[in-house]
Structure 1
Amino acid sequence: MRVISGKCKGRPLKAVPGQTTRPTTDKVKESIFNIIGPYFNGGQGLDLYAGSGGLGIEALSRGIDKLIFVDQNPKAIEIIQLNLKACRFEDQAEVYRNDARRALKAVAKREIKFDVIFLDPPYAKQRLEEEITFIIENELLMNEGMIVTEHDASLTLQHSIATVSCDRQEIYGDTGITIYKFK
């Protein structure tokens, strides 16, 4: 696992040990960023099920100014912090150990709006449509922002959720990617 492009191109990233997280493969990560970017001109991001932090760190490497990482696994938090330090992104990141629902409520209270939100929950515990609805109802997404979901390829998400709709959907083996933007 490595940073694909940008300031930290080629930098290896540590993975969370054990079977509790499923890191996004380099192939899928590269495809996601080719679709959504490939680079950013500043902005803020949220990596809600951060795992090792690979998606968020890739966004930082490609030009996002600030990124909030959230995961409820203490080992994942430790690995995210190590990966941020290795890439020298500590000053551009906030890392929180929390579950997704509470994290979204906390972010909503801060009235932050994001340019990109990554949702890559454990496949068996996904509540993507509920979380996307919360994001939209609480105005957490910039007008030109996007929500990038990673899910089991067999999962079919609604084309429209609240006021966002599917902009693009791709399948890579057993991994599905669905990107939502405002209609």
Structure 2
Amino acid sequence: MRIIAGKYGGIRLNPVKGDKTRPTTDKLKEAIFSMTGPYFDGGTFLDLFAGSGAVGLEAVSRGMDSAVLIDRSRQAIDTINENLAKLHDDSVKVIKGNSFTILSELAADNNKFDMVFIDPPYKQQKILTVLDKLNSLQLLNTGATVISETDNTVELPGEYGPFEAIKQKNYGLTNLVIYKFEEES
């Protein structure tokens, strides 16, 4: 596992030890960023259920100004911090805790995001709940991109409130759906 492109391209990343965290493969990460970028001219990135932090660190490497990486697992947080130490980049904030609680705290601090990656444990499938929370807490800038990763048995809607699916693709056992957020008038 590595950072694929950008200013940190080629840096090897540690996976979270054990079998409780499913890593986003380099192939899938490349697909995500070819569908959404591949490079960015600033912006803020939010990675819920961050695991090793690979997707958020890739986003910063490719030009996002900053990222917030959230995970509730101590093992995942330790791995993110190990990986972040390899970059020597202070634009990434790592938070341990329940994603839903942290979202409320981020909203209270008036945070807004341009891109969000949602990859909850496949068994829990909380994508639509997260979309509702992002919208109700007003955490997204107009035009924000929300990337959702699910297993291939889950069908996400093409439209969901202010979210419109602009790209959908299957990668074997994984489905990616990219939503664009437009504020409701």
Q: TM-score range by the shorter chain?
A: over 0.9
Q: Which structure features the higher share of helix residues? A: 1
The 3-state SS of whatever aligns with 2:123 is helix
Structure 2 counterpart of 1:22: 22
Q: Which AA in structure 2 matches 1:166?
A: A
Q: Which moved more, 1:10-19 or 1:157-166?
A: 157-166
Q: Deviations over 1:43-77 (max 9, x none)?
A: 11110110000000000000111100100000100
Post-superposition offset of 1:111: 1.3
CA–CA separation in structure 2 for the residues paired with 1:93 and 1:116: 14
Matched, 1:92 2:91: yes
Structure 2 counterpart of 1:33: 33
The 3-state SS of whatever aligns with 1:29 is helix
Structure 1 counterpart of 2:82: 82
Alignment of 1:51-70 (within 5 A): 51-70=51-70
Structure 2 counterpart of 1:113: 112
CA–CA separation in structure 2 for the residues paired with 1:92 and 1:153: 33
Post-superposition offset of 1:182: 2.6
Q: Deviation above 4 Å: which 4+ runs of structure 1?
A: none
- % identity of equivalent residues: 40
Post-superposition offset of 1:158: 1.5
Structure 1 counterpart of 2:126: 127
Post-superposition offset of 1:137: 1.9
**Structure 2 unaligned runs (5+)?**
none
The 3-state SS of whatever aligns with 1:121 is coil
**Structure 1 unaligned runs (5+)?**
none
Post-superposition offset of 1:104: 1.1
CA–CA separation in structure 2 for the residues paired with 1:106 and 1:162: 23
Structure 2 counterpart of 1:151: 150
Indicate the RMSD between aligned Cα atoms, in angstroms: 0.9
CA–CA separation in structure 2 for the residues paired with 1:107 and 1:11: 29
Post-superposition offset of 1:10: 0.9
Q: What is the TM-score normalised by the length of structure 1?
A: 0.97
Post-superposition offset of 1:159: 1.4
Matched residue pairs, number? 182
Post-superposition offset of 1:161: 1.6
CA–CA separation in structure 1 for the residues paired with 2:131 and 2:143: 15
CA–CA separation in structure 1 for the residues paired with 2:122 and 2:29: 17
Structure 1 counterpart of 2:102: 103
The 3-state SS of whatever aligns with 2:177 is strand
